[in-house]
Amino acid sequence: MEQDPMREVKRLEVVIDALHVEAVLRTLHDAGVDGYTVVREASGWGDRGARRPDGISGVFENCLILCAVDPEVMEQVTTGLRPVLQRHGGVALLSDAQWITH
Amino acid sequence: MEQDPMREVKRLEVVIDALHVEAVLRTLHDAGVDGYTVVREASGWGDRGARRPDGISGVFENCLILCAVDPEVMEQVTTGLRPVLQRHGGVALLSDAQWITH
Amino acid sequence: MEQDPMREVKRLEVVIDALHVEAVLRTLHDAGVDGYTVVREASGWGDRGARRPDGISGVFENCLILCAVDPEVMEQVTTGLRPVLQRHGGVALLSDAQWITH
Amino acid sequence: MLWRMDPSLLLENLRTPAILFFVLGGVAAILRSDLNLPQPIPKLLSIYLLMAIGLHGGVELVRSDLDGRVFAVLGAAVAFSAAVPVWTFFLLRFKLGTADAAAMAATYGSISAVTFITANNFLDNLHHPDPGYTAGGYMVAAMALMESPAIVVGVLLARLFAAPPTSEAEPYAGLGGRAPGRRARGGAARLDGGELFREAFLNGAVVVLIGSLLIGCVIGERGWTSVKPFMYDPFKGVLCLFLLDMGLVAARRLSDLRSCGAWLIGFAVVSAPVHAALGIAVARGLGLEPGDALMLAVLAGSASYIAVPAAMRLAVPEANPSIYVTMSLGVTFPVNITVGIPVYLAVIQWWWS
Amino acid sequence: MLWRMDPSLLLENLRTPAILFFVLGGVAAILRSDLNLPQPIPKLLSIYLLMAIGLHGGVELVRSDLDGRVFAVLGAAVAFSAAVPVWTFFLLRFKLGTADAAAMAATYGSISAVTFITANNFLDNLHHPDPGYTAGGYMVAAMALMESPAIVVGVLLARLFAAPPTSEAEPYAGLGGRAPGRRARGGAARLDGGELFREAFLNGAVVVLIGSLLIGCVIGERGWTSVKPFMYDPFKGVLCLFLLDMGLVAARRLSDLRSCGAWLIGFAVVSAPVHAALGIAVARGLGLEPGDALMLAVLAGSASYIAVPAAMRLAVPEANPSIYVTMSLGVTFPVNITVGIPVYLAVIQWWWS
Amino acid sequence: MLWRMDPSLLLENLRTPAILFFVLGGVAAILRSDLNLPQPIPKLLSIYLLMAIGLHGGVELVRSDLDGRVFAVLGAAVAFSAAVPVWTFFLLRFKLGTADAAAMAATYGSISAVTFITANNFLDNLHHPDPGYTAGGYMVAAMALMESPAIVVGVLLARLFAAPPTSEAEPYAGLGGRAPGRRARGGAARLDGGELFREAFLNGAVVVLIGSLLIGCVIGERGWTSVKPFMYDPFKGVLCLFLLDMGLVAARRLSDLRSCGAWLIGFAVVSAPVHAALGIAVARGLGLEPGDALMLAVLAGSASYIAVPAAMRLAVPEANPSIYVTMSLGVTFPVNITVGIPVYLAVIQWWWS
Ligand SMILES: Nc1ncnc2c1ncn2[C@@H]1O[C@H](COP(=O)(O)O)[C@@H](O)[C@H]1O
Ligand SMILES: Nc1ncnc2c1ncn2[C@@H]1O[C@H](COP(=O)(O)O)[C@@H](O)[C@H]1O
Ligand SMILES: Nc1ncnc2c1ncn2[C@@H]1O[C@H](COP(=O)(O)O)[C@@H](O)[C@H]1O
Ligand code: NA
Ligand code: NA
Ligand code: NA
């Protein structure tokens, strides 16, 4: 391998109303992350009560966003994310991970 | 910000048969967590063999439950969860994470 | 409990094109892991541009694979995984976790 | 008058297959059966229903000879959709915060396409000899026009009466109840006009309905014949399947009722006949036939649970969807389709005769 | 007798579009094609089929004049569903643990709605001049009644014969094989009666079937006419699509067969004709017409793969679904719909003539 | 000739309901409406369309009396599918790397079933008095045969001209642009023949199409009548719904066009009429009727977006799907169904008269 086999990254995980995913992704993008993954049709429960997509109104659907963030841009990500979470609710978790580079 | 920008939490992740999700959620709720997220229609493989939702019998469907747990209630969560896992199989992983409060 | 209540494991998370999930699972299986979980229909964005399943061509679908790996077999897993990622793209993250045994 | 109403219309309505399936869904949910139609089945069904009703409406529109009265109806429809939110808002402000009151106002000013479709189905199944007992194609146009104005008015109300941004926003009427510091805060002002327009007029449901209406206007009889076996013949059967799901969803919403309060539930029950009566009066004033009058009543009395919630979540995120969706889907919708429609028609029959 | 059976019935069955699509699905899966119908398509199709068969059954039920024989048929059906699990359980206990034997018993006592529908389709396509070759609407009622008793009996058997809770439970017959300490343990006793009742009688499939049957009884001819273009006309075509998926799923289950053993597979193959023969004998005793006799045979010979697995996972979680679902879906279902149905009819024709 | 083409055919096509719904979808996507049909709805619709077209084709095939000309058509179809990729590959290599050129070649050699279906729909809606203006059932067989050869040829080209494995592979034409070290590398050689065969011939779409064609051949008139209300009558209506989604997807792909370059877009636009013209010439040479000639033109001029992408992702993973899917789905498909089909028919009418 010409590179280091592992790279330290921050693993960011956001759960938010499906409608606001675009706002989160825009934030991530602007902060300079180089990728993300979105899983749709999650349900959940939190401050806003139970959120279970009912299929009719489309209202109570959550999404899970996963993003491996370079520690260097972590600061911008957090700064950008806070107002979005503040306005729209949702949860953001941060942990340490290693990216198996190749 | 009037609060601490980050809060240390335990990140709990349970994979279990779709039918038993309610039991896990009840346990979490009783233990006093303040939210959770559920992703449906996962497939997997474990002790019970391959689990791939076939759409006909509805049998082999897994769910993924994600929960940011306050370290204080972690003990109750683990205690409550064990018998459920024992009875119905499934996997529970615990790791450290930081909640980006806002 | 006749066993240790917690077991240290490595938490592996792979995001890859839905078509190549089988290759990853085969690798994991050969390396000797004892289970995994797959979440389908993820979307995302990375080196290969945006990946949003369009439902018509079926092309731009990602999957998320979650696997609790015994530290002992971690070496084999990484070795087996690298060529797959190299060939097909995708992301693999590794972190520490505890398995709530029961 | 009403207390002498012939109960046969009510029974007739409750024997309609679609209504019975709605009841089945409700009963199944109340008995806690695991029956459900997961996404995207309801989405498929609702797109189908909107396409079919729009297309048929467009075809009928071209068939009929339009006169001035049609434009009067359309104008009245738009006026309704814009005016209802205003008084609804000020009434509800006695009990709700600004955001929730505005979202409820938009919800009740807008319309429910499925209520409209169910009323149409009811009329159809009557097989009334008088042709005045069918709805004209322009009523579909009226429905399409009523979806959006209420959204615009609702958002404007939320902004005009929003608390100044520096102060802490109204306490969230939510069901959880964590530290207030995590609450969403007055941000309605941040959504720009373009986004609001897009939500109000380009919501998927609105686009399918208006698009299909326009397509129905241009395809001609030959085009209509070619798609009729899909777009018309199975319509009533598909409605059964959809209402089965509506019954499940509506009854499952009921568990949120407790946290909403009797006052609000009373509003959701009463607003339907009150607005419907207003619709009937306008229909009478415009000299409409009984069929069209029923449709206007139903549009006025129904509340949205698709287009408006989508818009409100973006434009007024401080409002709690558990309130406005529960009220429109769990209370007003069932009231309208089980009891409302036949009662409105009885009133119309009594007045028109 | 049978060895002189006219093979034309068999060929006739294999030329039915629905059966051919089942074969196509099976071949595609065996060739490892990537063809699949993801969730919730199969769910949508199976709810549609249950609604349609229930509704039609209800309409037919009202049309026919019920006499005492109908109640005899319904009683026999319930008795079958309750009795079959008993001997099945004691037979299978020779080879399986208590939990798995009980789950298999419930599976084989209950019925497969799609086998029923396929048999009905087969009868219909025969266009037999004798009206006795159509199934009465009450056979749908019989089917609905047979879903649940087997579940109750199966769970009771599991509890009565469960190992005492202190001892280590039976070794899991699973396919993985990790440390036994992680195994699920005898917990059947923990499920309370209410939950068991809900699973047995309020399973989504049961609710849709019985609900639609009741709705079919009350909507009358006019209601039926209004939904027929969706609920009846496309039925046989939708069955093709559903059986295509059943073929895929059944063939993919086959890879689990290896771990199940020849003995069990033998049971799954043989139980179908044995129970069907019993059903035929009862039908003869009750003096049923050939059409109804075939339906009773098929109900007796078929095994559940929707309602029972859902209930067993909750009530007897120690039982391994890879065993009971594989047997019913991968072995008994294909045997019944390809060979069973025409053979049962041939036997009936020979006996009744 | 063409500049004197009667514009009525073009207008006729643009007034077809299916095309109008395609336009509606495109407009909705361009206006950034949130309208969408989530998975697996499009999958269900496309399996339905393939089943229906295959079944009907099979039934028609048995009805017609086959002569030598049919085999000539089938042979020409296979030859087309195998030959088109060759020149396409060498042409595109001027601008693209080997992998992308090979994937594009396979894409354009193969066919689009929905374009075929739309052309069929167009012919049907013409209600032309001359029976030569309907497509024969063997054209469905020709379509089925054209799906796979292009895949095999494309993969072979990718392998023959692949860069030697030691060197760094061609720079990825992707849209992201991270460190080149993370790039996928020349690995086409690793896929064994069995997997390639499976992808080319056992892709879900191919299996459903060919399987339904064969089933259509054996079910006979009675079988066809029994499934017609599902497999034939609603077909044109379902096509509307599917094309609505195609419009959404195609227009949303357009945002990837910028990164593809004018040269490639030019190819996608021009290749359709060029290959179609070739198809028309061959049809003329074989003495086909106008209806069959149009279908051959459309098969030749269309590009795949289901079977080929699935195969290429496995067999030539270095190729960028954002290129070949965008070109076939976002450019060639709309060109063919809106303008191409009527123009090809105009040319055929001019030449055949
Ligand atoms: N503690 C938590 N752990 C995991 N997910 C959570 C948690 N709290 C909230 N969520 C998720 O975030 C969504 C929005 O949260 P909230 O804004 O608090 O209603 C909920 O519907 C859950 O899916
Ligand atoms: N080591 C593991 N890593 C991730 N998921 C697992 C693991 N083991 C089991 N699972 C998941 O948990 C489900 C139930 O596990 P089991 O009860 O062991 O069959 C499986 O179907 C998998 O989805
Ligand atoms: N930094 C990242 N964090 C999370 N997911 C990622 C990241 N980068 C890529 N991905 C996911 O991996 C998929 C394939 O990545 P790539 O091969 O880089 O296009 C993307 O579509 C994303 O879903
Ligand atoms: Na209204
Ligand atoms: Na049985
Ligand atoms: Na082509």
* Cβ of residue C46 lying under 6 Å from some atom of ligand 3: yes
F181 in contact with A, Cβ within 8 Å:
yes
Nearest Cα residue to C59 out of D269, F330, F24? F330
Distance from CA of E41 to the nearest CA of B (A): 8
What's the predicted TM-score (pTM) here? Answer: 0.92
Whether the pLDDT of residue B53 is over 90: the answer is no
Q: Do A101 and A7 meet the contact criterion of CB atoms below 8 Å apart?
A: yes
Cis peptide before D40 (omega within 30 of 0): yes
**pLDDT confidence bin for D5, thresholds 50/70/90:** low
Q: What does the pLDDT read at residue E158?
A: 92
Measure the N-to-C terminal CA separation of chain B; round to a whole number of Å: 7
Provide the pLDDT confidence category of residue D283 given band limits of 50, 70 and 90: very high
**Helix H or strand E segment including E193:** helix E193-201
Classify burial at E278, counting beta carbons within 10 Å of its beta carbon; exposed 0-12, middle 13-18, buried 19 or more.
Answer: middle
Per-residue pLDDT of chain F (353 residues; tens, 9 = 90+): 455 667 788 898 999 999 999 999 999 999 999 898 988 899 999 999 999 999 999 999 999 877 888 899 999 999 999 999 999 999 999 999 999 999 999 999 999 999 999 999 999 999 999 999 999 889 999 999 999 999 999 999 998 988 665 444 433 333 333 333 333 444 444 556 777 787 778 889 999 999 999 999 999 999 999 999 999 999 999 999 999 999 999 998 888 787 778 999 999 999 999 999 999 999 999 999 999 999 999 999 999 988 888 888 888 888 888 899 999 999 999 999 999 999 999 999 999 98
The C-alpha of D247 sits at a distance from chain B's nearest C-alpha, in angstroms, of 22
E63 Cα: distance to centroid of ligand 5 (angstroms): 27
Q: Which residues of B touch C29 (CB under 8 A)?
A: 45
Tokens 């609407």 belong to: E137
HSE of D332 in the Cβ direction (CA atoms, 13 Å)? Answer: 34
Sequential DSSP letters for F93-155: TTTS-HHHHHHHHHHHHS--HHHHHHHHHHHHHHT-SSGGGS--THHHHHHHHHTTHHHHHHH
Ligand with smallest separation from the Cα of B42? 2
Contact between C86 and F185 using a beta-carbon 8 Å cutoff: yes
Taking the Cβ of residue F47 and every Cβ of chain C, the question of whether any pair is shorter than 8 Å is answered with no
Contacts of E166 in chain C (CB under 8 A): none
Give E287's DSSP letter. Answer: T
Which ligand 2 atom is at minimum distance from the Cα of C33?
A: 1
| Contact between residue C100 and residue B11 where contact means Cβ atoms under 8 Å apart | no
Best F34, F39, F245, F337 residue to mutate vs chain C (most C CBs within 10 Å): F39
Token pair belonging to F247: 């419009």
Helices (H), chain F: 8-14, 17-30, 41-63, 68-92, 98-109, 113-126, 138-146, 149-160, 193-201, 204-218, 220-231, 235-253, 262-286, 290-301, 307-315, 321-325, 333-335, 341-352
Closest CA in chain B for residue E246: B56
Residues of F in contact with E124 (CB under 8 A): 226
Question: Which position has the higher pLDDT, E69 or E145?
Answer: E145
Residue-wise pLDDT for E87-124, tens only, equals 999 999 999 999 999 999 999 999 999 999 999 999 99
Segment C73-78 shows an average pLDDT of 94
Pocket of ligand 1 (CB under 6 A): A 15, 44-48, 51, 62, 89-91; B 33-37, 66-68
Report helix, strand or coil for C71: helix
Q: How far apart are CA F259 and CA F254, in angstroms?
A: 10
- Closest ligand 2 atom to residue B42 Cα is 23
What distance in angstroms lies between residue F18's CA and the mean position of ligand 2's atoms?
46
For the beta carbon of residue D339, count every other beta carbon within 10 angstroms: 16
pLDDT > 70? residue E182: no
Is A37 close to C81, i.e. CB distance below 8 A? no
Alpha helices in D287-306 (DSSP H): 290-301
Query: What pLDDT score does E260 carry?
Result: 79
Chain D residues whose CB is inside 8 A of the B101 CB are: 181-182
Q: Which of D232, D215, D199 is nearest to D117 (CA)?
A: D232
H and E: helices and strands count for chain C: 2, 5
CB-based contacts of D245: which residues, under 8 Å, 6+ apart? A55, A56, D25, D36, D37, D41, D42, D45
Q: What is the pLDDT of residue A88?
A: 84
Q: Which of E137, E108, E264, E156 is nearest to E212 (CA)?
A: E137
CB D206 within 8 A of CB D144: yes
Using the Cβ of E183 and the Cβ atoms of chain B, whether some distance falls under 8 Å is answered with yes
CB C36 within 8 A of CB B44: yes
Q: Are C57 and F325 contacting, i.e. CB atoms less than 8 angstroms apart? A: yes
Task: Enumerate the residues of chain A whose CB falls inside 8 A of the CB of residue C41.
Answer: 39-41
Query: DSSP class of residue A5?
Result: S
DSSP bridge pairs for B49: B46
Cis peptide before F40 (omega within 30 of 0): yes
The tokens describing F191, both together, are 């896929």
Alpha-helical runs (H) found in chain D: 8-14, 17-30, 41-63, 68-92, 98-109, 113-126, 138-146, 149-160, 193-201, 204-218, 220-231, 235-253, 262-286, 290-301, 307-315, 321-325, 333-335, 341-352
Tokens 């180089």, residue located: A34
D38-82 residue pLDDT tens: 888 999 999 999 999 999 999 999 988 778 888 999 999 999 999
**Contact pairs from chain C to chain F, CB under 8 Å:** 83
Query: What is the DSSP pairing of strand B6-17 with strand B62-69?
Result: antiparallel
The one-character DSSP state at E148 is: T
Residue C29 has pLDDT above 50, yes or no: yes
Q: Which two tokens stand for residue D110?
A: 């807008």
Residue D327 pLDDT > 70, yes or no? Answer: yes
Q: HSE-up of C86 (CA within 13 Å, CB side)? A: 17
Nearest-atom index, ligand 3, CA of A34: 1
Maximal CA-CA distance, chain B: 52
Q: Does F32 touch chain A (CB under 8 A)?
A: no
- Per residue in D116-163, pLDDT (tens digit) is 999 999 999 999 999 999 998 999 999 999 999 999 999 999 989 887
